[in-house]
Amino acid sequence: MESKSNNINSVFYADSYHPIQAGSIDGTDILPHDNAVYRAFLCSSAGLYDPTGDPKVIGDPYCTVFVGHLSPHTGEESLRKAMSKYGRVKNLRLVRHIVTGASRGYAFVEFETEREMWHAYEDAHHSIIDDSEIIVDYSRQQLMPGWIPRRLGGGLGGRKESGQLRFGGRERPFRAPLRPIPYDELKRLGIPLPPEGRYMSRFQIPPIPRRSPIEERSHKHSAVDGAEPSSRRALDDAAEKSSSNSHRHGQSSKQSKRRRDWDEERQRDGNYMDDGSSDDYKRAQERRSTSSHYQHHGKHSHRRERRSKSVDNQPP
């Protein structure tokens, strides 16, 4: 009974969009349950929607959040002021009706860095702006594979009164299935399988897409190329300083290794001195006495040579 209750409270989120799965509360339906889902499925199958074809969509998707459930009275300035609590706002687009100019109740906010975007994604969700509780999600149009918007029967979330709920998003995640999962049918339709054994709690923050290593390198390179000359010089100086520090660190590590070897040798000689009866100790003593004799003799010979030269150079 306890495992069953835990299963009820377990949820999972969609990593990619499939219209039939989005219309299912547990992500296991294999038939569209309304005409809107069927329309979205046709658009997806025929490739009628291109998420990159919207000229209004600009900016870095990894630094952009979607803000929904906005009040009709919320404008750009009030939204910018509210979102500036979480970071530096680089760009903001409040979606408006193409004819009347009225707010459609959602916007896209781009921050300067991914860290600031994550701060807003984590803390701004369910906050209040102009007496309206907002929702915050990442930019699924640009980052979610297979995305179909609400106007074509897709999307996520929604209200019960509309009769077109879509599951798998942050507001309405999939519930862990309580019925047998039709694995073969789901694979045939290309619907992702539920992550059995890896369900999340409803109170956990769902993960967001991250850049791949190739995208990360390209992003850093473009950021350096697009920087101001002064900023670029600062970046070059920082890179040069880091390189010199690593070089000095390598030299110091080599010196430390030589010093450790020398200390170990001295310690071995010290061990010989602890036992004066050993042959090793006697040989070490002979080496040291011979070396000191030659050094002492060499010093005296150099002194005599310098003294004789100075006498020869004196005038008669």
What is the Cα–Cα distance from 107 to 109, expressed in whole angstroms? Answer: 7
Which structure tokens are listed for 259?
């010093």
Model confidence over 265-279: pLDDT tens digits? 656 555 444 444 445
CATH of the domain spanning 2-212? 3.30.70.330
Residues forming CATH 3.30.70.330 domain(s) in the chain: 2-212
Other beta carbons less than 10 A from residue 115's beta carbon? 10
Q: Which residue type occupies 117?
A: M
State the average pLDDT over residues 123-139. Answer: 96
Per-residue confidence band for 90, with pLDDT thresholds at 50, 70 and 90: very high
Per-residue confidence band for 316, with pLDDT thresholds at 50, 70 and 90: very low
Model confidence over 194-247: pLDDT tens digits? 999 899 998 899 999 988 877 777 777 666 555 555 555 555 565 555 555 555
Query: Which element (helix H / strand E) includes 175?
Result: strand 174-175
Which structure tokens are listed for 40?
């979205």
Query: Packing angle between helix 279-312 and helix 229-274, nearest 10 degrees?
Result: 110
Give me Rg for the CA atoms of the chain. Answer: 36
Look up the pTM and report it.
Answer: 0.67
What is the Cα–Cα distance from 64 to 231, expressed in whole angstroms? Answer: 24
What is the Cα–Cα distance from 310 to 16, expressed in whole angstroms? Answer: 93
